[in-house]
Amino acid sequence: MFGKSATPEESAQTRHKHRAKHPVDEVLPVPKMAVYGLQHVLTFYAGAAIVPLLVAGALGMNAQQLGFLINANLFTCGIATLIQTIGFWKIGVRLPVVQGTTFVAVGPMIAIGMSQGGGVPGLLEIYGAVIVAGVFAFVIAPFFAKVVRFFPPIVTGTVITSIGIVLLPVAALEAGGGNADDPEFGSLTNLALAGTTLLLILGMYRFFRGFAATIAVLLGLIAGTGIAALAGKVDFSGVTDASWAGVITPFHFGLPTFGIAAIASMIIVMLITAVEMTGDTLAVGEIVRKKVGPDGIARAIRSGGLSTTIGGVLNSFPYTSYSANAGLVRLTGVRSRWVVAAAGVFMLVIGLVPKTGAVVAAIPHPVLGGAGLVLFGAVGVVGIQILRRAELTDQRNVVILATSLGLALIPVAFPDFYALLPEALQMIFASGITMAALSAIILNLLFNELRRKQADPIDAMAPPPSPVTLEQVNAMSKPEFVERFATVFHGGEWIAERAADERPFDEVYALRRALHSALFDANVDQQLRLIRSYQDLAGPELDEKLLGPESLRDRCAGGLDKLESDEDERLREINAAYREKFGFPLVICVRGSTKEAVLATAESRVLNSPAQEMATALVEIAKIANQRLAELVDDPSFKAEKPPVSA
């Protein structure tokens, strides 16, 4: 229990308690779960329907075949979402992740289908490639699980921000009427409907409270559709013509064919989708405040691969996670995976009841576009929030962000920019999200990861720099002072800059006081940013020795690099519970302590109030700074004692 070393049985109870309390695993009352789930379905529906519409239209499928493709797609989306959210064995990330058909595959699928002359033969060639590509993704999932270390905040933040930016034109297209070639596209009526829906949603977020505020998007869609119906802009003929029941049969159009070129093309699609899914999964983990590690990434990609193979059997297409629904989780604050599982059940029902799907399909494009502006924008905000932790004071990270966003915007601004490239390359370059992901990953490898690897790994545990005298400190230029003492705090350049202005120091204690004054006199926002820049006490950064030398020395001095597996799991769960409660990482001065004392202190601090923890975190940061400063300045009277870990 908290405040003392726990027995194995108590540790198990503590782990269970933390897991059971996490909002991701919360089962809401059925009425609320149904309403929240329906909101996810309405958010996802337009995107899910677009892929079969585009593919069927290009291949020349008739209306009846198109209707079956839409129902089959929705039905399989339900299966895929249930697998991802509920999970079994090592399949499914068990987060509120909606699965839908990926837009990345549209171009390659049309090319594959047309290579067979379109129609049903083209569709069967597509399904053969989809089935094999799904198996491929399932098999390679463990590899992608190991690359999570290559997705630091600068990469995930850049990719997720680009997703929001790149998706905004989709919302604009819907707001204008859904078809840019339509004479009515961008008409005053369409813009009024989109604007009214947007204003209704914003108004509900502003004035509603509680449950009503969390379903603002759903209410906005209903109200917008009602207004459109009064204006005569809703066509319900599809509802009248649709049947009440349908059956999704495997291989409805015949047995698939397997072409080598088609399979190779679809495997490339799945590789790109795996990269996107990794970023999306990390984003959802960020939104729900549940850390996703390598195993979680592997489970997510296995789920995507299995669902893609099932899709090929049930007449659907490759699957990925839907970013718009991640934005909905961010907007509503409802983090339960069971809500998204309920959405999966709704998808199954819609797929089996064509008339129900026709009702959802009757929502006018401008109404969907108005809601999409909020949802896709929310995705971009998540990326911006992650970028706040990316140390953008580092010029290397600025270059990574600027270049990646620039590449992402090229196909948004000029869709035909890469039209003269071979089709295989167009699939990569014409996707702004893919370009941002590849650019951020590659540049991070070049600018950050390779720079780390060029140094001997033992350097991370090398002694600190040789200490300097107080006279040398006073004689330093300001940039020299900042470079040397910024490492006393994590991301503490601004603290060192303020302390530098207090020179000359007549004793080392005055230097320490200047650093402490800069820390404690800062405003609350600055203090929170500083606290949030510290890493968790346990995690992949420590496992992979990716911490800076100061942080790594601190952790190892406290024995945190030698945690047993159950101790490591316990500390990770405490870290997660602490972040969930306070919104910043658990900071403890671990030098001079033991791993047992650190664990006991960590458990006790979860019980504190937010005000207590804000103050305690700053004190712990100051204690860490004292110990690091004692290594940098030569003054026997200023050798920091090894203080016990305190609450």
Q: Note the pLDDT of residue 21.
A: 61
Check whether the bond before 23 is cis (ω within 30° of 0). Answer: no
| Same domain, yes or no: 290 and 230 | yes
5 assigned to some structural domain: no
| Same domain, yes or no: 437 and 475 | no
622 assigned to some structural domain: yes
Rounded to the nearest 10 degrees, the angle between the axes of helix 565-582 and helix 595-605 is 30
Q: Note the pLDDT of residue 385.
A: 76
Rounded to whole angstroms, how far apart are CA atoms 190 and 195?
A: 8
Give tens-digit pLDDT for 71-96: 888 899 999 999 998 988 889 888 88
User: To 10 degrees, the CA torsion angle through 87, 88, 92, 96?
Assistant: 20
Q: Which of 449, 479, 494 is the last residue of a domain?
A: 449
Give tens-digit pLDDT for 242-301: 778 777 889 988 899 988 878 877 887 787 778 778 777 877 887 777 777 777 888 899
Listed in sequence order, the DSSP H helices in 457-594 are 470-475, 478-485, 493-500, 508-521, 524-532, 540-543, 549-557, 565-582
6 assigned to some structural domain: no
| Same domain, yes or no: 143 and 287 | yes
Give tens-digit pLDDT for 516-531: 888 888 888 888 888 8
1 assigned to some structural domain: no
Contacts of 505 (CB under 8 A, 6+ apart): 470, 473, 474, 511, 514
Contacts of 132 (CB under 8 A, 6+ apart): 258, 263, 266, 267
| Same domain, yes or no: 178 and 277 | yes
| Same domain, yes or no: 249 and 187 | yes
Q: Which of 388, 414, 449 is the last residue of a domain?
A: 449
| Same domain, yes or no: 571 and 621 | yes
Rounded to whole angstroms, how far apart are CA atoms 39 and 44?
A: 9
Per the CB < 8 A criterion, the answer to whether 293 and 144 are in contact is no
| Same domain, yes or no: 83 and 197 | yes
Q: Note the pLDDT of residue 9.
A: 45
| Same domain, yes or no: 380 and 258 | yes
> Angle at Cα 15 formed by Cα 12 and Cα 18, nearest 5°?
150
Length of the chain: 647
Q: Note the pLDDT of residue 547.
A: 45
455 assigned to some structural domain: no
Contacts of 481 (CB under 8 A, 6+ apart): 473, 496, 499, 500, 503
27 assigned to some structural domain: yes
| Same domain, yes or no: 226 and 297 | yes
| Same domain, yes or no: 378 and 500 | no
Q: Which of 397, 417, 449 is the last residue of a domain?
A: 449
Q: Note the pLDDT of residue 126.
A: 92
Mean pLDDT of the chain: 78
Which structural domain, as residue segments, surrounds residue 485? 461-638
Rounded to whole angstroms, how far apart are CA atoms 427 and 266?
A: 11
4 assigned to some structural domain: no
Closest CA to 591 of 630, 565, 636, 564: 630
| Same domain, yes or no: 424 and 570 | no
Which parts of the chain sit beneath pLDDT 50? 1-20, 455-460, 540-547, 638-647
CATH number of the domain that residue 498 is part of: 1.10.3330.10
Q: How many domains are contained in the chain?
A: 2
Rounded to whole angstroms, how far apart are CA atoms 202 and 378?
A: 13
Percent of the chain whose predicted confidence (pLDDT) is above 90: 8
| Same domain, yes or no: 234 and 372 | yes
51 assigned to some structural domain: yes
